[in-house]
Amino acid sequence: MSTRVLAKAKALCYHVARYAPVGVLSAPGLRPGAIPRKGGDRQVRNYELLFIIHPDVDEDNLTAIVERVTDLIARNDGEVKNVEAWGMRRLAYPIQDQREGQYVLMKLEMQPQGVAGLENDLHLLEAIMRHIVVRLEP
């Protein structure tokens, strides 16, 4: 096959892929014209959740809050792998007129769709002053 014919074939393939009607080249299960994502969204990923609890919370209530957060993670199709209570630490700046807070770090596995639901649920817990969820690299 000559290089000229090969170049025309490449140009034709590019033209068809670029300008084909919407839905002609889409994968099954996707909306027409959608680009499939690499790896898909159904895989479970590793995350770290760090939250700061109000300093006036006693030890029994702290345990209850950690159990409540664990239940929220399970409700959002996640699984807690590790819990570390860092204890009382000084904050870099005041949060809700407090200079200290009780830090708790959780390592968990969950699907990406569950993270948004978890963050919405954490906003509703009054004892948690701040929280952050960070995805860990595999």
For residue range 104-117, list pLDDT tens digits in order.
999 999 999 999 99
Q: What pLDDT score was predicted for residue 1?
A: 57
pLDDT beyond 50 at 25: no
For residue range 52-96, list pLDDT tens digits in order.
999 999 999 999 999 999 999 999 999 999 999 999 999 999 999
For domain 45-135, the CATH class is: alpha beta
Burial-class residue 55 by CB neighbours within 10 Å (0-12, 13-18, 19+): middle
Q: Name the residue ranges covered by the structural domains of the chain.
A: 1-36, 45-135
Q: How far apart are CA 127 and CA 64, in angstroms?
A: 11
